[in-house]
Amino acid sequence: MNSTSEGPLGLLDRLARGPVLCAEGYLFELERRGYLQAGAYVPEVVLEHPAEVRALHRQFVHAGSDVVEAFTYYGHREKLRLIGKEDLLEPLNRQALDIAEGVARESGALLAGNICNTNIFDPGDRETSRQVRSMFSEQVGWAAEAGVDFVIGETYSYASEALIALEVIQQAELPAVITLAIHRDPETREGWSPAEACKRLADAGADVVGLNCIRGPATMLPLLADVVAAVDVPVAALPVPYRTTAEEPSFQSLRDPVYDAYPGDRPFPTALDPFMCTRYEIADFTRAARDLGVSYFGVCCGAGPHHIRSMAEALDRTPPASRYSADMSKHAFLGSDAALKQHNLSYGRSY
């Protein structure tokens, strides 16, 4: 546990000493495991299967995450209204925070609250701004009561909505990490470049700004240099672990040239397997982003613990999970150890 004589280091102190790694991707990983429904993507799993959420938190910390982020993404009033379960709003948020707090405290990780895009914000409708502010205030209030170290506001395609999130977090007197979602067009829905939008957030007092979700390493990386140059606060980069391209820059826009019978005529969100980045591609992204000046890292929707371990190792760390990082030297057919059988090694060359 990183600490001083005064107590554990907070987010900004840790960033002053080096990169911070925050594992994300709970929605997709718990959907893959059969505990969350794709589509609505409401995290009822924190009430129905809390042990699974706790286990995933622990697995991400084991893999190298410095942060345990409470699984309240899409746990806001609008999402629960859509499924007719607004009565679960407070229990869901408090349970998610309690689960995350337990893992953070046992491991020495930072505890983060979370708010996200509401999908109701409309810059031309002032009433939606009021509704969004109210929704954020509920969730940030519960996070503050739980004693979080900071709050993550993420996946905003409207930077104006992100600015509201920032204001609410600041009113709670908590550090704020604010990240934007950049879709097919390389700008926010207002038409601001990522650099301009992040500068507005930094100038408004965000402690960390950057990009998360939607774009994979190949199409997020080109946007990061301008963001780093535009701001004087730490920059965050949390791509999805998918092979997006210049022609298909978001994971929603990916199309499979081999199979064409997907529901909805696209692989997103439940058939992205053919596009998955390897752990080595995630490591390459991490090193490249670090060289650009990024200091807050993570992997978003689609991430597994192996991606987080690879990111940690690319940052020159050896988390507990590194004990099990690949070592092919003793592989019976592909290894190099002198004790291996030569006839197997010879056969291995014909694999």
Give the DSSP per-residue string, 84-140: T-GGGHHHHHHHHHHHHHHHHHHHT-EEEEEEE--S---TT-HHHHHHHHHHHHHHH
Q: Once rounded to an integer, what is the mean pLDDT over residues 61-71?
A: 98
* pLDDT tens-digit readout, 175-224: 999 999 999 999 999 999 999 999 999 999 999 999 999 999 999 999 99
What gap in Å lies between CA 350 and CA 225, rounded to an integer?
44
Distances (CA, A) of 256 to 194, 222, 241: 28, 24, 16
Q: How far apart are CA 177 and CA 163, in angstroms?
A: 11
Residue 153: pLDDT band with limits 50, 70, 90: very high
User: How far, in Å, are 11, 95, 177 from residue 102 at the CA level?
Assistant: 18, 11, 22
Work out the percent of the chain whose per-residue pLDDT is above 90. Answer: 95
- Supply the pLDDT for residue 89: 98
Per-domain residue ranges of the chain: 3-317
For residues 245 and 253, the answer to whether their CB atoms sit within 8 Å is no
Residue 41, pLDDT > 50, answer yes
Highest-scoring range by mean pLDDT, 7-11, 122-126, 262-266: 122-126
pLDDT value at 97 more than 90: yes
From the centroid of its chain, how far is CA 149?
17
pLDDT-based confidence at 7, cuts 50/70/90? low
Whether the per-residue pLDDT at 6 is higher than 70: the answer is no
Q: Summarize the confidence of residues 10-21 as an average pLDDT.
A: 97
Q: What average pLDDT does range 70-79 have in this prediction?
A: 98
pLDDT band at 170 (very low <50, low <70, confident <90, very high): very high
Question: What pTM was estimated for this model as a whole?
Answer: 0.95
**Residues near 261 by beta carbon (within 8 Å), at least 6 away in sequence:** none
How confident is the model over 36-60, as a mean pLDDT? 97
CA angle 86, 92, 95 (to 5 degrees): 160
3-state helix, strand, coil in the chain (%, to 5): 45, 10, 40
Q: How high is the mean pLDDT of the chain?
A: 96
Among the listed residues 157, 164, 166, 315, the one whose alpha carbon sits nearest the alpha carbon of residue 233: 166
Mean pLDDT of 15-39: 97
Bridge partners (DSSP) listed for residue 180: 156, 211
pLDDT at residue 2 in the model: 42
Are 138 and 88 in contact by the 8 Å Cβ rule? The answer is no
CB 188 within 8 A of CB 182: yes
What pLDDT was estimated at residue 9? 87
Residue 290 buriedness (CB in 10 A; 0-12 / 13-18 / 19+): middle
- Find the mean pLDDT for residues 138-163: 98
Alpha helices in 33-88 (DSSP H): 45-48, 50-63, 77-82
Number of helices (H), then strands (E), in the chain: 13, 10
Domain 3-317: homologous superfamily in CATH: Homocysteine-binding-like domain (3.20.20.330)
Backbone angles phi, psi at 279, to 5 degrees: -60, -30
